[in-house]
Structure 1
Amino acid sequence: MDTKFKKIVLENSDTIVQKWLDEIDAKKRGNYSASISNELFESTNREFVNIIFSSIKDQGKTKNLKEFAEKLINLGWKVSYITDGLQVFRRVTIDFILSQSEKIDTNYISQLLESVDGWVEPVIRQLVNEYSGNWENIVSLQRVALQELSAPLIPVIDNITVMPLIGTIDTERAKLIMEGLLDGVIKHNSEVVLIDITGVPVVDTMVAHHIIQAAEAVRLIGATCILVGIRPEIAQTIVNLGIDLGKFPTKSSLRKGFIKALEMTGRRIVDSGKKDEAIEEMIDSLGGE
């Protein structure tokens, strides 16, 4: 790094930092989260600018970049804060150097400007790479956790299991649902599987296609699917889309589906004057009408 450039920047660091803080503060009002308190914003800015200046002292390298990137992710800051902050710093530094052109040899100005880019660009790349790497790692861990919880198959009584689906179903998740469903049917020796879509916000053509495929796969290994949790708006959507769900039973609630599953496995609820408390409690826990 150019010695003269380094000297100019460090000797005028207070002026450059203040100009940078003023511009970043103006950007915050329009671009960054309104939920970030002024105190947190100011302290993060100070930490950011210290990292930038520590990089010039360490010849473009700093050990604090990774920790700073992790902190921003944990606080929910956007990557644009990093890129905007460094771009503004480059511009502020260049403007300051040009404002001092009378004190600097004009033949030397272009070399100083190159030094600015040579200083800021590596910091941008390293910070963005650290941020992206940490973010990808977090997303990967969250994806694994969601996959583990995405579609549990729950045995509720002999030969009857329930698979509650919650959230959006895409192609990747549908594949996991299919695998879990088939493995669970064999593991629990299920004759009937209740697929509960109460927690699925949208049932479109793709989602219905995945459900039909799952039901067909279950049928091929000797079990039957009952689709439950069909709300009125979902029923209307299915009709409007012309989706055929007539190949397997459907019920509006998990309770009704469970009663149907009992009938399909040769069992039924009768009023014998002495209720089977276990069955009654199970049906009550399923809710619905």
Structure 2
Amino acid sequence: MNKNIVNYIQENRDEILASWIEKMKEKSDERALRVVSDQVFVGTSREFIELVISNMNDHENYNEKLNDFAEKTVRLAWPLSFVQDGLRVFVQIVFEGMQEKGIINNDNQMDIIFDFDNWISPLRNELVNMYSTTWERTVSLQKIALQELSAPLIPVFEGISVMPLVGTIDTERAKQIMENLLNGVVKHRSEVVLIDITGVPVVDTMVAHHIIQAADAVRLVGAKCMLVGIRPEIAQTIVNLGIDLNQFTTKNTLKKGIEAALELTNKKIVNLEE
């Protein structure tokens, strides 16, 4: 690494940071700024500059710092283009500052440009790779979490579980519902499962088919299935489509469904006298 570059950056670190923050605020779109406070933006910007500098003289801890920074920028929803622009602006600020102080002249300009390129290109590639890897991992974890939360089986009493469904049910989600349902029935030793469709906006033939399949699967593992939350408009749609739900016990509310489930499991709720 060119000693002139290293010495200039270390001696002018604060000025470089202040100039970098000012230029990046001018260049950045709202996505990079609206989700964080000025304090967080300045702190993360300082961390970015420190990361770039550490690449010059602290290779031992560099990868760990790079990984931490990539995770932070992903959490802050900073676009990769913003991070890449930041690296370019940093080089521009350093290069122009060195020119103003006469460190770069006609005799050594090409050599320093070559040194800059040898330093920045690997850093840019590593930053892009780490950022992309972190983003993919984050999206994957979010997808798994959303899938798990999209169809939970919740034990409410001993032997009684509820699966509340919210939103549109497509084929992929139906598979997740089936998997969660069967695993949950076995795990919680459920005798009665209530599938609550209060939050399902539309029940068409495909949705009804998925629900019937789920009910059949529940019966195969030794539990009873009940469909609750049937609103009047959903009931009318089911009738108009000619969907047969005779194999279900159906209730219009979750409360009535739980009351029926308690009867099926020989339980009841009693008020204690004071």
Fold similarity call, TM over 0.5 = yes
* CA distance in 2: counterparts of 1:30 and 1:155, whole angstroms: 45
Aligned-pair identity in percent equals 38
Distance 1:34 1:225, change over 3 A: same
Aligned residues: 265
Secondary structure, aligned partner of 2:34: coil
Distance 1:222 1:54, change over 3 A: closer
Q: Which residue of 1 aligns with 2:163?
A: 164
Gaps of 5+ in 2: none
* Deviations, residues 213-247 of structure 1 (Å, cap 9, x unaligned): 212323455654322123467x2896699593635
Deviation of residue 136 (structure 1)?
5.5
Deviation of residue 281 (structure 1)?
4.6
- Between 1:10-19 and 1:116-125, the stretch displaced more is 10-19
Whichever residue aligns with residue 164 of structure 1, its letter is: M
Q: Which residue of 2 aligns with 1:85?
A: 86
- Between 1:12-21 and 1:142-151, the stretch displaced more is 142-151
Deviation of residue 20 (structure 1)?
1.8
* CA distance in 2: counterparts of 1:57 and 1:243, whole angstroms: 73
* CA distance in 2: counterparts of 1:45 and 1:186, whole angstroms: 51
Distance 1:61 1:83, change over 3 A: farther
Deviation of residue 253 (structure 1)?
0.8
Distance 1:216 1:119, change over 3 A: same
* CA distance in 1: counterparts of 2:54 and 2:136, whole angstroms: 27
Tell me, yes or no, if the aligned pair for 1:224 and 1:248 is still in contact at 8 Å: no
Q: Which residue of 2 aligns with 1:51?
A: 51
* CA distance in 2: counterparts of 1:133 and 1:105, whole angstroms: 41
Distance 1:32 1:2, change over 3 A: same
Residues 93-104 of structure 1: matches in 2 within 5 Å? 93=94, 104=105
Tell me, yes or no, if the aligned pair for 2:262 and 2:268 is still in contact at 8 Å: no
* CA distance in 2: counterparts of 1:45 and 1:240, whole angstroms: 61
* CA distance in 2: counterparts of 1:202 and 1:96, whole angstroms: 63
Gaps of 5+ in 1: 268-277, 283-289
Q: Which residue of 2 aligns with 1:147?
A: 148
1:42 aligns with 2:42: yes
Which of residues 245, 262, 268 is equivalent to 1:279? 268
* Deviations, residues 173-201 of structure 1 (Å, cap 9, x unaligned): 543432343355567373x4311233557
* CA distance in 2: counterparts of 1:77 and 1:254, whole angstroms: 39
* CA distance in 1: counterparts of 2:130 and 2:59, whole angstroms: 18
- Between 1:35-44 and 1:195-204, the stretch displaced more is 195-204
Whichever residue aligns with residue 105 of structure 2, its letter is: I
* CA distance in 1: counterparts of 2:124 and 2:96, whole angstroms: 19
Whichever residue aligns with residue 85 of structure 1, its letter is: G
Tell me, yes or no, if the aligned pair for 1:61 and 1:123 is still in contact at 8 Å: no
Residues 112-151 of structure 1: matches in 2 within 5 Å? 112-134=112-134, 143=144, 147=148, 150-151=151-152
Distance 1:95 1:173, change over 3 A: farther
Distance 1:247 1:104, change over 3 A: farther
Q: Which residue of 1 aligns with 2:243?
A: 244
Secondary structure, aligned partner of 1:225: strand
Tell me, yes or no, if the aligned pair for 2:198 and 2:228 is still in contact at 8 Å: yes
Tell me, yes or no, if the aligned pair for 1:79 and 1:131 is still in contact at 8 Å: no
Distance 1:221 1:51, change over 3 A: closer
* Deviations, residues 108-146 of structure 1 (Å, cap 9, x unaligned): 534433432332233334344444555555666663697
